[in-house]
Amino acid sequence: MVIKKLFLCISMLLLTSFISTSLAAEALIFEKLPQAQKSKQWAVHVGEAEKEKDLVKPIKGKFVTYSLKIDKIGNDVDSVKVHLYRNEPNSKTKYSLVSCPNSVPCSRENDEWAIALAKQMNDGKPYLFRNFLLAEKATELEVEVVWTEGGQGRSLKETFTFTEESKE
């Protein structure tokens, strides 16, 4: 009888531990900031969102807010574009975190902006996104940097993926 109770207690403890671990992995909420990844060309930092009156605020149970900083640590670039995506549970589709400005149609690429960003980054000033919303149900944040360099028209791309596993 004692062995059955002991077995039942241990089984319940293991089951509870497994369930709580599975639930904890569902949301991408960084306990420690900043989170950073880098390559030979870029250093990407996800940090605390700036808190100003006009900036978006987190909504408990729906959205958290973060900031993004990208430094160019490699070769000079001719143009740079940055795209942010999050995943949706049980879907292969990624959702953009940045929409098109009202003044620019989504179908039109804004090369002037990409060239201006490249000049800024070549001058040692980072790309800063002071405050963005990330759905609490997201388990992945993808930062995509697309650039050209050396007068070549060919685009280069690097993707930095922040997940539950990359948080440690």
Tell me which residue has tokens 């800063």: 128
Tell me which of 101 and 11 has the higher pLDDT: 101
Q: Which long-range contacts (CB under 8 A, 24 or more apart) does 57-62 make?
A: 58/133, 61/136, 62/135, 62/136
Given a contact cutoff of 8 angstroms between Cβ atoms, the answer to whether 65 and 132 are in contact is yes
Q: Which two tokens stand for residue 59?
A: 């909504």
What are 152's two structure tokens?
Answer: 């070549």
Which residues lie closer than 8 Å to 155 by C-beta, 6 or more apart? 146, 147, 148
Q: What is the pTM of this model?
A: 0.77
Residue 119, Cβ density class (10 Å: 0-12 exposed, 13-18 middle, ≥19 buried): middle
pLDDT digits (tens, 9 = 90+) for 136-151: 899 899 999 999 999 9
Name the H helices within the chain. 2-24, 111-122
CA dist., res. 25 & res. 164, Å (int): 6
pLDDT tier, 106 (very low <50, low <70, confident <90, very high otherwise):
low
CATH fold label, 26-167 = Immunoglobulin-like (2.60.40)
Domains in the chain: boundaries: 26-167
Q: Which of the four pLDDT bands, split at 50, 70 and 90, describes residue 157?
A: very high
Is the pLDDT at 8 greater than 60? The verdict is no
Q: Could you tell me where the beta strands, DSSP code E, fall in the chain? A: 35-38, 42-48, 63-72, 79-87, 94-96, 127-135, 140-148, 156-163
The answer to whether 96 and 84 have CB atoms below 8 angstroms apart is yes
Q: Is the pLDDT of residue 24 over 80?
A: no
SS3 of residue 106 by DSSP: coil
